Amino acid sequence: ADRRTLIRRLYFDLIGLPPSPEQVSDFVNDPANDDAAAARVVDELLASVHFGERWGRHWLDLVRYAETLGHEFDYPLRDAWHYRDYVIRAFNADVPYDQFVREHLAGDLLTQPRLHPTLKTNESIIGTGFWYLGEDKHAPVDVRGEEAARVDNQIDVFSKTFLGLTLSCCRCHDHKFDAMTMADYYGLSG
């Protein structure tokens, strides 16, 4: 591709935003060879806060991130943004996936948690916030039924996000295609 096309592709792919006319002009007129000029732009984009916003959004979709409860009254979750910002910071800091997963599953139990870059507070514990992001009712009629629905949603999000499996059928019967049983499902529910 020509340089004008290449810089647009790089910007849209890596940060989801178009380059400014000045950035296009600078790239097109860069005297460096194509590979060196592209590498410089890629490094700049990977260092951009917009990189974490663009790619963190995909993770937020997986864990069903929302800033409201969703149901009929759709009450706001006042502090949900802490989790969103945690994900963006993790992507921008290039946190290894295995550490990112540990923070989600047991961030409150890590003996050496990752610290917030400026506040120096426990950053790892925020990962566990994804467990609380599911749809919820403000004042359910059947409290136990609502609790069971919330746990079912947590298992569904966990299994699809971290295992790549759909386990919701195991609530009623053993999985038809995978080696997951009802006992496994209810074992996850704790």
Q: Tell me the domain boundaries of the chain.
A: 3-47, 58-135, 140-190
Q: What is the rounded average pLDDT for all residues in the chain? A: 92
- Residue corresponding to tokens 């947590």: 154
Dump pLDDT digits (tens) for 73-127.
Answer: 778 888 999 999 999 999 999 999 999 999 999 999 999 999 999 999 999 999 9
> Which amino acid, 184?
D
Q: What is the pLDDT of residue 37?
A: 96
Q: Is 19 left (phi over 0), alpha (psi -120 to 50) or beta?
A: beta
- pLDDT at 167 exceeding the cut of 90: no
Question: Tokens representing 41?
Answer: 């732009």
User: Crossing angle, helix 21-28 and helix 3-14, to 10 degrees?
Assistant: 130
Q: Measure Cα distances from 104 to 6, 155, 185 in Å.
A: 36, 13, 19
- pLDDT at 12 exceeding the cut of 90: yes
Q: What is the pLDDT of residue 50?
A: 97
- Measured between alpha carbons, how far is 117 from 152 in angstroms, rounded to an integer? 35
Tell me the whole-structure pTM to 2 decimals.
0.87
Q: What is the pLDDT of residue 70?
A: 80
Dump pLDDT digits (tens) for 25-54.
Answer: 999 999 999 999 999 999 999 999 999 999
- Measured between alpha carbons, how far is 123 from 82 in angstroms, rounded to an integer? 10
- pLDDT at 17 exceeding the cut of 80: yes
- DSSP-derived letter for residue 66 is -
- Measured between alpha carbons, how far is 123 from 164 in angstroms, rounded to an integer? 26
- Residue corresponding to tokens 């009254």: 73
